[in-house]
Amino acid sequence: MIFKETNLKGLFIIEPKVFSDGRGYFFESFNKAVFEKHIKNIDFVQDNESKSGYGVLRGLHFQRPPHAQSKLIRCIEGEVMDVAVDIRKSSETYGRHFSVLLTGDNKKQLFVPKGFAHGFIVISNEATIAYKVDDFYAPDYDSGIIWNDPKLNINWGIPESDIIISQKDKNLGDFSSLISEFE
């Protein structure tokens, strides 16, 4: 696996070594020993999977401390634009975002540490993503930022008229009203 830190400290793109032949392919999507050489003190406790159609946008979500989550995200089939926003108050990149195309073909993964809001949008007909988290879902600590916040100015890669979001995500606050609990 190749670990590439992005311009947002602690946020990594991970590219696995894929072995392909006439039968198909094989790769390690996670290897704790290799992972810990690059990213320390992560103990994933749950695997999640999501399938969505074109235009579905899920995010920008995070859990507040003490139930903050780090995530390791990959796209199993289809294509998603995956986005992480730095919400660590003392970070030099506070309020900046990073986006990456995750696809079933490129097999890239994105490691999102605690202190980031996260979301994705499906840009293929449908997509299945899988992600690991290092803390369980805690509804009382669930939070987020509205997907179309003008301060963040995220380009989601498809026309706004095609975007489908949940009522919950429509009601998220904007970035300027965020009171971050992350240092």
Angle at 147 between CA 105 and CA 83, to 5 degrees: 35
The one catalytic residue in 61, 67, 94, 141 is: 61
Catalytic residue among 25, 67, 94, 131: 131
CA distance 62 to 76: 22
Burial class (CB in 10 A: 0-12, 13-18, 19+), 181: middle
Q: Has 54 been annotated as catalytic?
A: no
What are the strands of the beta sheet with 71-77, ordered from one edge? Answer: 2-5, 12-15, 109-112, 71-77, 126-133, 46-53
- DSSP-derived secondary structure letter, 176: G
> Is 131 known to be catalytic?
yes
Residue 171 tokens read as 């009601």
The CA distance from 181 to 178, in Å, is 9
Cα dihedral 32, 37, 38, 39 sign: positive
CA dihedral 118→2→122→24, nearest 10 degrees, is -150
Active-site residue list: 61, 131
